Amino acid sequence: MKNDTRRLVFVAVCLYTAAFLVTVLLHELAHALMALAVGVHPILFDSHVDTPPAGPRREILIALAGPVFSLVQGVIMLGITVRGRGTGAGALFGLFLGEFGIINFLGYVMTGPVVDYGDIGQAEKLLGVPLAAAIAAAVAAAVVVTLAVRATAPLFMRFVPAAAPGAPPDVVKAQKRRYLRPLLVWPWLLGSILITALAWPVPTLLSLIYPPLSSMVLGAAFGAAVGRADLLGAPAAPALMRGPLWRPLLALGIAAAASRLLATGVRL
């Protein structure tokens, strides 16, 4: 691994992990704020919210608040990224926030039929949604999340230096893979390890399987970016390749500290 790709791995892993943690924290905060809004005093943790029994109507509102906020986060951040032209750490952080927001929401829809204690699954149970309808929604969500993530391939290619003009197709694909692995594959692998490590010393089964499974769909962006001949990469070196390294590290440190501070719970 050359120096430029080592640097890219470090920056992308920091930003990926920070964006994942921020998405989870905002998701849980949305649950907690909705609980307060309906007169329930929750205990906010880093990856869940405890609330006393509140009745079906209020429990549905509390359960849906997290996924709905994640969807709004995803739409807004991806919209900002599409309109922007940045190629630095802030732009990649925003792109990851957008991806994770969409993946979070649709992931809960996908697990609704089999995880009735999850956000969407709990709401479907309380609303009496037929199993067939929940399964249909889950299948639709799986298709939508794959297509949505594939559609973000051009956004990731902004951070990939283009191959030399006139390079043959196999050289162009090799160039793409060289930089997309640090942008997507290594962050998924190493970021999942970091996220799981932050759940110690008492990790739950969900904390072990959620980080890697929820982000596997990013492989759709990798495949689309490599396969599409019209995506050649950035003509100039992306700012991500030359920006200060302390900024992504600081983002990771702040997100990790906030996550650990909430590990024991805060009563609101």
pLDDT in tens, 135-171: 999 999 999 999 999 999 999 999 999 888 888 888 8
For residues 235-241, average pLDDT: 83
For 161, phi then psi, to 5°, come to -65, 135
Is the pLDDT at 3 greater than 70, yes or no?
no
Of 208, 191, 190, give the one whose Cα is nearest residue 199.
208
Number of H helices, E strands in the chain: 11, 3
What was the pLDDT predicted at 201?
Answer: 63
Q: What percent of the chain has pLDDT over 70?
A: 93
Whole-number Å distance between alpha carbons of 119 and 109: 9
What was the pLDDT predicted at 202?
Answer: 57
For residues 2-12, average pLDDT: 86
What was the pLDDT predicted at 207?
Answer: 59
Largest separation between any pair of C-alpha atoms in the chain: 65
What was the pLDDT predicted at 216?
Answer: 75
Is the pLDDT at 212 greater than 80, yes or no?
no
What was the pLDDT predicted at 43?
Answer: 93
For residues 74-93, average pLDDT: 93
Whole-number Å distance between alpha carbons of 93 and 181: 17
